[in-house]
Amino acid sequence: MTDLTKLTISAALDGMAAGDFSARELTAAHITAMEASNVLNAFITKTPEIAVEAATASDTRRAKGEAGLMDGIPIAMKDLFCTEGVLTTAASHILDGFTPKYESTVSGNLWNEGAVMLGKANLDEFAMGSSNETSFYGNVINPWRRAGDDHPLVPGGSSGGSASSVASFSAMAATGTDTGGSIRQPASFVGIVGMKPTYGRCSRWGVVAFASSLDQAGPMTRSVRDSAIMLEAMAGFDPKDSTSVDMSVPDFQSALSGDIRGLKIGIPKEYQLDGMNPEIQALWNQGIDWMKAAGAEIVNISLPNTKYALPAYYIIAPAEASSNLARYDGVRFGLRVEGKDLNDMYASTRAEGFGDEVKRRLLIGTYALSAGYYDAYYLKAQKVRTRIADDFKHAFQHVDAILTPTTPSAAFGSGEKSDDPLAMYLNDVFTVPASLAGLPGISVPAGLSGEGLPLGLQVLAKPFDEETLFKVAGVLETAANFTATPDDWWRG
């Protein structure tokens, strides 16, 4: 019988529709795979009983001809999404024991379309990190290894558990959240497809907040078609989220025509960094050639304010985090460390409950918002953000999509950058600009480094033009024909 864990979502849906296997069989295979991959530490909480119950209900619906878009598909849910009755931690000590009495809109949409939850995926604490080394529940390990080297690699972050679960065939797909690149960067590091929708396409209600003007949920899958299927299930207007946009959700799969003849693909000169990794430059050049061969027109463009994106982001995001995380004080939920008075309890709880990276960003954010510095830092960063968005708006008057690298390097070793926050922040150099502008973006696995590690290319499109994004990404995926998978070393 076919290894059910190696199927794509679309193939699995076809197989269940044809009666080749049931949702219960598909789920059982993934529960076994999830247990076999414990060494990767991709999950904080596993929910096999819930998964079996959901799969059983899925088989019943399918027998009645009532199957949804994702019916019977076993997925990992990033532990930033509130799930009713299931521990939700944001990978932080400060949320110890928090079990929501409500469901996030995105996870609820997925369950309504029949998706099956295998468990809650590990992440960087409060989504703050680029390597999944800041989780209170321990580091997540990338299933890939450098050729001839057993040193563990990071899966990227913050959605590292989601990325690792999909790349190791422990989950068929996973939800992620992307604030500055936290879906696209880990997807590139583990060789899967990671897609950030336009800001406002997916509801943020019930998602533990990091930076409210940037956070956006999205799918992490093993194919572009799977990404289109999952986004359609996740997206939709939500009156509970004031930033949710009241637009119909297209049939994203229908955009995968395989034909991009006549489309104009922009190549931004500012993404050609000084000292750029030759492997990344070569892959980008290859991507440009693939676009040309598919009949697209290559247009050189300029995004002059791109160089200011990282410093602007690392003022805006920590500032919003310092406000959002003020609610974690030991009073209403999660961890409480008693003190001699109320202020001492606040201080002691936050000191013990937050990890170093979260504390670092809260201090940066609080400083940027403080009297005397608000205008000099936060307000100026917001003005820069507007300039960056205007650059993209101008560029999209001349092109249909933009092609760039996803990351400046392949996955790096665990611990290699953990003592150097600035080096860690530079991982987001290619992903942050689109986040600041609220654009949709997707990372597609496109090649291997000299050490045998995955490398991704990124496609960006106009706001709410995910259809063009998927169309270009599908052609890129076909041209790259990335079929490499990691060795199963983690299965012992």
Kindly list the catalytic residues.
78, 158, 182
Type of residue found at 321: A
Which DSSP string do the residues of 480-491 spell out, in sequence order? H--------GGG
Place of tokens 């359609």: 232
- Kindly provide the residue ranges of all beta strands, DSSP E only, lying in 328-400, ordered along the sequence: none
The pair phi, psi for residue 122, each rounded to 5°, is -65, 160
Q: Are 260 and 474 in contact (CB under 8 A)?
A: no
Count helices and strands (H / E) in the chain: 15, 11
CA distance 209 to 264: 36
Cα–Cα–Cα angle for 417, 191, 467, nearest 5°? 115
Place of tokens 């500032």: 319
Q: How many CB atoms lie within 10 A of CB 64?
A: 8
Q: Would you give the DSSP letter of residue 333?
A: S
C-alpha radius of gyration, the chain, whole number:
21
Closest Cα to residue 189, out of 474, 449, 466? 449
Q: Are 182 and 91 in contact (CB under 8 A)?
A: no
Type of residue found at 207: V
Structure tokens at 81: 């999404």
Burial class (CB in 10 A: 0-12, 13-18, 19+), 439: buried
Q: Are 410 and 454 in contact (CB under 8 A)?
A: yes
Cα–Cα–Cα angle for 381, 385, 388, nearest 5°? 135
